[in-house]
Structure 1
Amino acid sequence: MLKNRLVADFMLDPNRVEDKKCMEISLSTTHNNVWSNYYKEYLKFGKEEVRANVPSDLTQDKWDALCDLYETTTWKGKSDWNKANRGKNSTGHTCGSKSFIVFYEEVATI
């Protein structure tokens, strides 16, 4: 009986706004992670040999399309911007002058 209630509570309805938004966020995150992982694979090789080293789960055509994307100035600009932001935030998460952990501990005690 409890199992049936739990299953009923966790049914995703693509017509329901909240469920649709949740699915979009989840799929978008997964999509971005996959592209990021392929980009890491792309960076392992030089420009001449990268297209010959196709990941096992892609076809040559799809890999070539991704390589074309990774070679655009738009992609390179976004990549450089993200690298710069990661460098700025390497000290950890903060909330003003407090570290995230201190801030979290203060909120937890309220």
Structure 2
Amino acid sequence: MIKERFKEYRSVLHKRCMSHEEAPLSAPPHVTDDDWRILCDRFSSNSFQKRSKINSDNREKLEVNHVAGSKSFAEFHHNMRDSVTGQKLGPVDLYRGTHCRQAMRSWVHPRADEIWAAMDTLRNQPTPDGTQRSEPEILSEVLGTRSGYVRGLGHGAKLMAPARAASTRSIVVG
């Protein structure tokens, strides 16, 4: 709750600093003039504007948002445990935890529900040779990979090709 309040407060300050000429006139009463000038200079700096543009462009490319906030998926995964066994959840259940609002039991986007349903179907469906797919392989198959990076598992997981067979792959979660 405090984090959300701070984000909202920072957003309000940023909106007040949008015009560099008018910024000194619109300082909030609880911020000193010196601090206000520093904030406005930061918000109007080229590096801040460039980073802001890059972040906006990246957010527009997202197909589905998540509910993890600024917490990394690795940290979120570390804190998520099965309520019965106390063990960490697998990658498929981690996807559900990071894309479904638990309190309201609703998905952040209808596409997130479709993706999870596809992963759940693959998890319950045996392969042609009768074995089960591993959860990281299911994630890789449904979400795809990017330069060996498995989407949804963060930077700690890499897609690795085993030495024995060129047609199969495994995922190393480090």
1:47-76 superposed Cα distances (whole Å, 9 cap, x missing partner): 211221002331211111101111222111
Match of 1:37 among 1, 6, 12: 12
Structure 2: gaps of 5 or more residues: 67-94, 96-109, 125-174
Contact 2:64 2:111 in 1 (8 A): yes
Match of 2:111 among 99, 104, 109: 99
Contact 2:20 2:40 in 1 (8 A): no
Higher strand proportion = 2
Instruction: Give the drift of 1:106.
Output: 5.6
Distance change (3 Å), C-alpha of 1:56 and 1:93? same
Q: Which residue matches 1:61?
A: 34
2: CA distance between counterparts of 1:65 and 1:35?
14
Is 1:51 the counterpart of 2:44? The answer is: no
Task: Say which structure, 1 or 2, has more relative contact order (CA 8 Å, 6+ apart).
Answer: 2
Instruction: Give the drift of 1:81.
Output: 0.7
SS, match of residue 52 in structure 2:
helix
The one-letter amino acid of 1:79's match is S
Contact 1:54 1:63 in 2 (8 A): yes
Contact 2:20 2:44 in 1 (8 A): no
Contact 1:51 1:64 in 2 (8 A): yes
Instruction: Give the drift of 1:42.
Output: 1.8
Q: Which residue matches 1:74?
A: 47
Aligned residues: CA RMSD: 3.5
SS, match of residue 47 in structure 1:
coil
Structure 1: gaps of 5 or more residues: 1-25
Instruction: Give the drift of 1:85.
Output: 1.4
Contact 1:39 1:70 in 2 (8 A): yes
Contact 1:93 1:99 in 2 (8 A): no
% same residue: 22
Higher helix proportion = 1
SS, match of residue 99 in structure 1:
helix
1: CA distance between counterparts of 2:52 and 2:39?
14
TM-score with structure 1 setting the length: 0.51
Distance change (3 Å), C-alpha of 1:77 and 1:32? farther
Equivalent pairs, count: 79
